[in-house]
Amino acid sequence: MSWLRPIDAWFASAILPHEAALLQQARRWTGDPDEARDLLHEAYAQLLQLQAWEGIANPPAYAVRTIRNCALQRMRRARIVPMRQFAALEEVEFPDPAPDSFAVASGREELARMIAAVDALPPMCRRVVQLRKFEEMAPRAIAELLGISLSTVETHLARGTLAVARALRAEASDGPAPAKAPARRKA
């Protein structure tokens, strides 16, 4: 019978390999190597008592956050706290997984260009591309829905995808694409 709990194995594999970096963060926030080690061990104790440890997506980042919270708790309890410790706590950067406003705006512009390129396709080709790419229907289901053969669906899909790609490429290199994207490849 093993004395190692599952959380201990997780801690040993997900947290302990980052101990040097975690200790460095703790030193930044405390300014004292001994206090930094105490702070790190306090955070370790909290991590080893977690109930939902399996759901942590990024254990090292979670450990840094735990150390930071422990440092803040210590500062709140202390009567005198050097200002440099507050400044060090503010310097830590935690990447926000959400896209920034530029990424959102550029994504919207790219989507609008793609929709415009799809709208410029011939009607049947446009419908096949919309059903396959936007509604994620299987080609066989599209053929049944539209009453056309599977090979016709595949032809419309190939031509439509190629035309959209060409229109987007032309717009990226030359500016706006022509009103109607070419549906056939030139020989």
Does residue 186 belong to any structural domain of this protein? no
Does residue 148 belong to any structural domain of this protein? yes
Mark which of 91, 120, 147 sits at the end of a domain.
Answer: 91
Does residue 183 belong to any structural domain of this protein? no
Question: In this structure, are 86 and 118 located in the same domain?
Answer: no
Question: What pLDDT score does 180 carry?
Answer: 52
pLDDT along the chain (187 residues), means of 10: 77 89 88 89 90 86 90 76 58 61 82 90 94 90 93 93 88 60 49
| CB within 8 Å of 19: residues ≥ 6 apart | 40
Question: In this structure, are 150 and 83 located in the same domain?
Answer: no
How many folded domains does the chain comprise? Answer: 2
Mark which of 91, 123, 143 sits at the end of a domain.
Answer: 91
Does residue 184 belong to any structural domain of this protein? no
Question: In this structure, are 12 and 87 located in the same domain?
Answer: yes
Which domain covers residue 148, as residue numbers? 101-174
Does residue 121 belong to any structural domain of this protein? yes
Does residue 179 belong to any structural domain of this protein? no
Question: What pLDDT score does 187 carry?
Answer: 42
Question: In this structure, are 49 and 70 located in the same domain?
Answer: yes
